[in-house]
Amino acid sequence: MEQEQLHWEVKFPWPLSNRDYVFVRHRGRVGDRHVLVSKGSSSPQVPEAGGVVRVEQLRNLMSFVRDPERPERLRFCLLYFDDLKHGFSLLLPLRF
């Protein structure tokens, strides 16, 4: 399997803080299926940025194959988990 380390920042709408991810992704094939496996990691080349929540717990497995009945389409399976940490940049007062 091929392996690469990636950094990805996701912009969230207000009042949520943006998130960033550092993860290792493995790519390969199992028979006619393409497989991607990702796991959260760290990197000294990508320090945490102020105002952005670093998501450390990440697991991802994706598998896809061409649909034999409709070759212009893919069949895929995605298993995904991450801990978003719910870091709010501002607390809002509630009125009842």
Structure tokens at 47: 């320090």
pLDDT of residue 86: 66
For the segment 68-77, the average pLDDT, to the nearest whole number, is: 92
pLDDT band at 89 (very low <50, low <70, confident <90, very high): very low
Strands 18-30 vs 2-10: parallel, antiparallel or unpaired: antiparallel
CATH topology of domain 2-82: Alpha-D-Glucose-1,6-Bisphosphate; Chain A, domain 4 (3.30.530)
pLDDT at 63 over 50: yes
pLDDT at 38 over 90: yes
Residues 6+ apart with CB under 8 A from 39: 23, 24, 58, 59, 60
pLDDT band at 82 (very low <50, low <70, confident <90, very high): confident
Of 48, 49, 53, nearest in space to 89 by CA: 53
